[in-house]
Structure 1
Amino acid sequence: MPDSPLSSSPYDVLGVPSSATQEELRKAYRRMLREAHPDTGGTEALFIAVQHAWTVVGTPEARAAYDRGNVAHETPHTWAPQPPRAPKQPSRPQTRTYGHPGGYSRERYLSMMREWVGLGEPLRDPYDPALVRSAPHEIRHALADAVAEETTARALTTLGIGYTVWHDVDATGRTAAAAGRTEKVDHVVLGPTGLFAVQSEDWATPVSVRRGDLVPRGEASGFERQPLHELAGRARTLGRATGVRFTVAAVVLPDDDLEQPIIVVGRSRGVTLVAVQSSVLPHLLRTGVADSPRPDGTTLFEVRTRLQQSIRFV
């Protein structure tokens, strides 16, 4: 089962339709092995992907299991929201959090999925793997957004009592509102290292830095033209509405999609632009970014009060 709703299916990797015969699959696998091998101009990553695709659909039994939404020999996986867990007694005071991480993206996903399946048609399991894989990229990207935001939110709860986090914060400016478009900051994080606007992304492709922003190294559904500058702009819009100033705009990506744990890309009108691997985000928030201003105790209290009084959620 792929980790991301946007991950290529085994059929995509082998370059055949899902209706291909087993013999067509076998020929495609052999062809792709030759093309993907590093000694013949391919890459190690693609070569591994081709081999994995064959283990998933290479036999009629494994293929039937995959087409039903299961992958043999792998841990069952679901993109459905995780059920609430019984509260535990924390060993230390927890991060203060507000809002519903991933809620807006999940509602958007469910709405688009119902419309795509057909209004009035029963939608027994909107997270059925076979259904998700067959959906258009725009729908799968909405689900990928939700999963990425929820993953980040879980990491943010480990920061401790010195931090306050707001999820799914409305940052719609006048231009977006006039166009009927909602814009948001996935996570607003306030702590002793500064005020961070954090966006959780999963474009299912490696990302590089070029010309002061992020660019995909492959096809990427839903990719913003300048994701870091777009986020910095939303942070400024939110800052004007709440009377605060953001210090860092950070885009969080799956670890495998960013070549370095933390990349400081530059600045945009006083806001430091950063790309960070998902697993490293708590470290970045605890240590901060060099040369970015840090609030003293009084300023921290004032900023938290302003945000509490003025933040709106999408």
Structure 2
Amino acid sequence: MPDSPLSDSPYEVLGVPADADAATLRLAYRRALRSAHPDTGGDPERFHAVQLAWELVGTIEARAAFDRGGRAATAEPAHEAWAPAAPKPRRDSRPQARSYGHPGGLSREVYLSLVREWAGRGVTLDDPYDPALVRSAPRDIRHVLADALAEEATARSLANLGIAYTIWHDIATDAAGRGLPPKLDHLVLGPTGLFAIQSEDWGGPVALKRGELVGEVLGGERPIRALAARAKAIGRAARVKPTALVVVVPDDHAGEPLELGGTVRGAAVALVRRSRLASAVREGLPGSPHLGGTEVMEVRSRLQAAVRFA
């Protein structure tokens, strides 16, 4: 199963329906492989995706395992990574950042509500994260689950910033949201500034252009504008001013590890790959002011008094 609920299934990669017979599937694979082969001018990423798709559904055994939700007969079901993870004991004794709130919690609640409503009244869902169920759900429902996973992944990355940083997750705001109760995914405070962060997974590439995100997958959304409105609402309530507005996406959805997009109301704007986020926060963004120790303590006190969780 793909890593994201929004990722194309192997059948979609090969351009066949999920109930295609073996001969049709094999023919589609050969055609896709020829058209994507780098030696004939094809796209190497597409070529790799076609090969992976065939590994997942190219044999009777692999296809049956995939349709049940796993990658192979002996593999663990891939959707276990989609369900809320059980807490794991820490092996690193270094102090972690102070953290408040429940990252991805609201998005998971909304997903569970939407998927049960979509399934219909009287239908019992033994596993709302079952891969076959998720694959068949409308894109807007899969998008909510993808965002929950993105928020949780960001939280894991930010936790290792160290004791100098404080993090709030799932913060309620009075700004407008996309089909969800209005909230800011993460707010990070430390000596390198006050970062308002939105974790996203649109299922495809995005880029910064003239201070806003662009991409076919956005469907008319204006993420930087929405993030700025949420950050402004929180800043107004706490009488603080965010120094950076950051949208973090899966690594393969951004062309550069860190892309800057000017400023909005004095806050530096950036699109950041997930693997680059922690170092970007530690280093600070170009054009984003650092904060002194006394200022960090004052801002933290104001936020602690004003923050409300979604």
Q: Distance in 1 between matches of 2:191 and 2:185?
A: 20
In structure 2, the residue matched to 1:205 is: 204
What is the match of residue 142 of structure 2? 140
Residue 182 of structure 1: aligned partner: 181
Partner of 1:55: 55
Query: Which residue of structure 2 lines up, in the alignment, with residue 81 of structure 1?
Result: 84
Which residue type is aligned with residue 100 of structure 2?
Answer: Y
Identity of aligned residues (%): 56
1:226 aligns with 2:229: no
Check whether the contact 2:193–2:290 (CA below 8 A) recurs between aligned residues: yes
**Corresponding residue of 2:174:** 172
Q: Is the 8 A contact 1:172 1:182 kept in 2?
A: no
Q: Does residue 279 of the first structure (1) align with residue 282 of the second (2)?
A: no
Cα deviation digits, residues 199-230 of structure 1 (max 9, x gap): 111122122232332222xx52x656222232
Counting only pairs closer than 5 Å after superposition, residues 1-314 of structure 1 correspond to structure 2 as 1-72=1-72, 76-77=77-78, 78=80, 79-86=82-89, 88=90, 91-173=93-175, 176=176, 182-216=181-215, 219-220=216-217, 225-314=221-310
Alpha-carbon distance between aligned partners in 2 of 1:153 and 1:180, rounded to the nearest angstrom: 22
2:69/2:77 contact within 8 Å kept:
no
**Mean CA deviation greater in 133-142 or 67-76:** 67-76
Contact 2:207 2:271 in 1 (8 A): no
Indicate the SS of the match to 1:64.
Answer: helix
SS at match of 1:157: helix
Residues 156-185 of structure 1, C-alpha deviations (whole Å, 9 max, x = no match): 111111111000011223xx39x9962211
Give the conservation status (yes or no) of the 8 Å contact 2:6–2:203.
yes
Q: Deviations over 1:242-267 (max 9, x none)?
A: 21100000011111221221111111
Give the CA deviation at 1:76: 4.3
RMSD value over aligned CA atoms? Answer: 2.0
Q: Distance in 2 between matches of 1:310 and 1:90?
A: 32
The normalised TM-score by structure 2 is 0.93
Is 1:29–1:50's contact at 8 Å kept on the other side of the alignment? yes
Instruction: Indicate how the Cα distance of structure 1 residues 122 and 183 shifts in structure 2: closer, same or farther if over 3 A, else same.
Output: same
Q: How far apart, in 2, do the equivalents of 1:290 and 1:49 lie?
A: 36
2:268·2:286 contact (CA, 8 Å) conserved in 1?
no
Aligned counterparts of 2:29 and 2:150: Cα–Cα separation in 1:
31
CA distance in 2, matches of 1:84, 1:224: 37
Aligned to 1:206, the other structure's residue is in SS state coil
Deviates more, 1:95-104 or 1:56-65: 56-65
SS at match of 1:143: helix
Number of equivalences? 307
Structure 1 residue 300: deviation in Å? 1.1
Q: State the distance in 2 between where 1:90 and 1:60 align.
A: 43
- What SS does the aligned partner of 1:205 have? coil
**Shift in Å at residue 149 of structure 1?**
0.5
TM-score by length of 1: 0.92
| Residues 68-77 or 92-101, more deviating | 68-77
Would the alpha carbon gap of residues 223 and 166 (structure 1) be closer, same or farther in structure 2, given more than 3 Å must change? farther
